[in-house]
Amino acid sequence: MSANLQTPIDYLKGVGPNRADLLRSELSIHTYQDLINLFPNRYIDRTRFYKINELQRNTAEVQIIGTITGFREVAQKRGKRLVANFKDDTGMMELVWFRGQKWIRESLQIGKTYVIFGKTNWFSGKYSMPHPEIELQSEHDKNLRSAMQPIYPSTEKLSNKGITNKVVSKIMQQLFLETKGRFAETLPETLKDDLKLISKTDALLNIHFPKTSELLARAQFRLKFEELFYIQLQLILKNLIHKSKIKGFPFTEVGTYFNTFFKDHLPFDLTNAQKRVIKEIRSDLGSNAQMNRLLQGDVGSGKTIVAFMSMLIGLDNGFQCCLMAPTEILSVQHYNGLIELCKLLKINISILTGSTKTSERKIIHKNLENGQLQILIGTHALLEDKVKFKNLGIAIIDEQHRFGVAQRSKLWKKNTSPPHILVMTATPIPRTLAMSIYGDLDISIIDELPAGRKPIKTVHRYDNNRLKVFKFIRDEISKGRQVYIVYPLIQESEKMDYKDLMDGYESISREFPMPDYQISIVHGKMKPADKDYEMQRFVKGETNIMVATTVIEVGVNVPNASVMIIESAERFGLSQLHQLRGRVGRGAEQSYCILMTSHKLSNDSKTRLETMVRSSDGFEIAEVDLKLRGPGDIMGTQQSGVLNLRIADIVKDKDILQQARYYAKQVLKIDPSLALPENNVILETYRQMSKYRNIWNYIS
């Protein structure tokens, strides 16, 4: 590299210590490299000069060449404004300044040719331009400035301290002078030829000083591709290294447990998607590498049975298995679902949660260590140091985004050798995001629902239709069905939410009076025992209506509940609405989801509601959600810095992302250790990145 790009920004001419401190604190610019990677947000097209007689009455920014013929000061309510007459060979207009008149009057000369740039106003028969950018045409022609003018990211503090866009452009020019505008190439020739990419040097020059809009587009494509290519390369390499270095237990047997269950006890026929996923898991477990797989499947797609069959392979090979879920309700439900199947197969299964009694815990600990206990289901309680397995072969984590990285690694340490890991989620993760965040996991998707499931009918109703909705609820209850009514819960306004819930509960109680109707209520302020009591009444069918906050979002399974009413649905995110809807439609009856809102809706809310009514495909819904909310929010706050991208946008650039992943895979397929001479440049760039920019450890 010419001027070393790792040079601290303080050394760049025109920056100095004060500006350097501001650039560091406001934009994280520490080195020349950081500055060169400060890419513009947008560009102003200064390719054309307008004539005064061509101006239109719009707010577009224009530039004009002309001369100042005279100045005058005009008194106004407060102080004075300075007005200059500006003309070209087609007409006359005015330039106006409301402040800085003295300095402007002294620095501008009558009769000289200037280039002005700004927004025009039409006022009492003539055009005027307030506070134009103005410079002598001779200066304008001299500058290393492109026709498309870049507008850089900025902050209020930078503008207040005088680091304007012009200043940033100027120090960027200085950087190109000091580096002689030459930058080390980071992609191999073969790849550049294949994709017709411009060189790194041309890309950087044209992103900061584009000569034409076509060159700008090529520069953007080249830099986006490169950024995504190296992220994908990192993830795929991580996966390859994982597979070669971390040896798993090879489960060579598919034996009695698995075969007996498959032949004699399977409660329903597996869908093709389930069969495909079990095959993928079997091949992982049979290889010598540790399985590290993400299992995605919409609510109700039958992930639990796949998890159970994976555990049976572990048992057939003489290993223990565990399943960890984020809440007690969910782990109890997994346990209840599996205990019957385990009895048929004479498998020893237990559950361990925060409320397990000490006497029971002791027995569980003992039987785990001596190997009698074969399957353990539980919550975070499984991570306690006291919990020791004899030989844990497979660990399954449900809804893993609720567990931190440190918690997951505790599971690994329960053994001398790490167990196989299967991570399950009912939150569909859009493909683009999955490729970027879980690119180092192998991904399996169950994308069809079990036979006999009817799609849930979803409708949107406004508050003034409430009486019709109540009548519909009565009709469903008279058929023997049960109903959920869910109120939003937003942490900041718990008091208000609690009031909404209680008001709702009272009006429901008036509409559906005892003894004809029984109502359960569940919310976050209740003691866990009371919550469980109310939940159980609903599960057993002793109550007809469950009024609740979003605590029921994950995992409660009541096949007889066929109606889900979501109050103030505009206050929920898309994935949350989809999760809530998945609480119904678990039996053979037709189920309904009714989204209740007020008439005042933002555009985003309208899009969310329309998407819910139109689609029941979790992946399509997740894609819309990603477009509305951006990648940070979807992954939850702990992952919000996940993709700290400089120029690419994984939503808008998903085609480039797929190309980048494809090429990264091709390169590593032929040359997994990047040892071939033609991949030298990739290896070198990769090392530099790992050394100077620690972005590669940001993915859990």
Q: Where are the domains of the chain?
A: 48-146, 256-446, 457-615
The residue assigned the tokens 């080390």 is 184
Q: Helix 303-316 and helix 328-344: axis angle, to 10°?
A: 50
* Residue 22 banded pLDDT, cuts 50, 70, 90: very high
Residue type at 281? I
Strand 113-119 versus strand 61-75 pairing type: antiparallel
Residue 635's contacts (CB-CB under 8 Å, 6 or more residues apart) are 401, 433, 437, 642
Strand partners for 539: none
Query: How far apart are the C-alpha atoms of 494 and 489, rounded to whole Å?
Result: 7
- Asked if the model's pLDDT at residue 637 lies above 60, the reply is no
32-60 burial by CB neighbour count: b if 16+ within 10 A, else e?
A: bbbbbbbbbeebeebeeebebeebeeeee
Q: Which amino acid is at 128?
A: S
Predicted pLDDT of residue 697: 38
The yes-or-no verdict on residue 378 having pLDDT over 80 is: yes
Sequence-separated (6 or more) residues with CB below 8 Å from residue 22: 157, 158, 161, 163
- As a whole number of angstroms, the distance between CA 185 and CA 578 comes to 46
Query: Of 167-181, 382-396, 414-428, 469-483, which gets the smallest average pLDDT?
Result: 414-428
What's residue 9's pLDDT? Answer: 93
Split at pLDDT 50, 70, 90, the class of 592 is very high
Q: Looking at residue 145, what is its pLDDT?
A: 59
Given a contact cutoff of 8 angstroms between Cβ atoms, the answer to whether 322 and 377 are in contact is yes
Contact predicate 390/371, CB 8 Å: yes
Is pLDDT of 684 > 50? yes
Domains 48-146 and 457-615 share a fold: no
Nearest alpha-carbon partner for 306 in 348, 349, 346, 337: 337
- Tokens 């399974």 belong to residue: 557
CATH of domain 457-615: 3.40.50.300
Q: What is the spatial distance between Cα 5 and Cα 38, in angstroms, rounded to a whole number?
A: 13
pLDDT higher than 60, residue 198: yes
Q: Check: CB of residue 477 under 8 Å from CB of residue 518.
A: no
650 three-state secondary structure? coil
Copy the structure tokens of residue 660: 């980048």
The confidence score (pLDDT) of residue 317 equals 95
Tens digit of each residue's pLDDT (9 = 90 or more) over 547-584: 988 766 455 678 889 999 999 999 888 888 988 898 88
Per mean pLDDT, which range of 127-131, 258-262, 629-633, 684-688 is the poorest? 629-633
48-146 is classed in which CATH architecture? Beta Barrel (2.40)
CA–CA distance, 505 with 534 (Å, rounded to integer): 14
Sheet with strand 61-75: strands edge to edge: 121-123, 126-130, 91-97, 80-88, 61-75, 113-119, 133-136
> Has domain 256-446 been given CATH number 3.40.50.300?
yes
pLDDT in tens, 493-537: 566 666 778 888 898 999 999 889 999 988 877 887 888 888 889
Structure confidence by residue, pLDDT tens digits, 26-67: 998 999 999 999 999 888 877 788 999 988 877 678 899 999
Q: Who has greater pLDDT, 446 or 495?
A: 446
Separation between Cα atoms, residue 490 and residue 601, nearest integer Å:
18
Query: What pLDDT is recorded for position 647?
Result: 87
Token digits of residue 120: 């025009």
